[in-house]
Amino acid sequence: MTITVRLTAAEERSLRETVRIHSATRSDVVRLAIAQYCQERLREGKRRAYDDIAQWIGCAHSGKGDLATGAHKLYRERIHAGRRGHFR
């Protein structure tokens, strides 16, 4: 496939410099850039909501060992404390 791409002067300078330094052809550099760009975009498209919050899961300790079964009670206690002006 043959394509034509319009480059800004800065992009053209960058391409020429890359070609010169790495002894590559312009086509090679453009092909590699397109391949890398497409791989990154496709990988992003496969992200899940979990991927966006994974860094935060398990990063803090509540001090309570029964959050899975006692969360409702804990929320009630905190809301009640907030009504007394102690919500934190």
pLDDT (tens digit per residue) in 55-69? 877 766 666 666 677
- When divided into structural domains, the chain yields a total of 1
Lowest mean pLDDT among 30-34, 70-74, 82-86: 82-86
Q: pLDDT: is 37 or 85 the higher one?
A: 37
Tell me which residue range forms the domain holding 23. Answer: 9-50
Tokens of 72: 């409702």
Q: What is the pTM of this model?
A: 0.49
pLDDT (tens digit per residue) in 15-69? 999 999 999 999 999 999 999 999 988 887 777 788 778 887 776 666 666 667 7
Alpha helices (H) in 1-88, listed in sequence order: 9-22, 26-45, 49-53, 67-83
The reply to whether 62 falls in a domain is: no
The reply to whether 84 falls in a domain is: no
The reply to whether 65 falls in a domain is: no
The reply to whether 36 falls in a domain is: yes
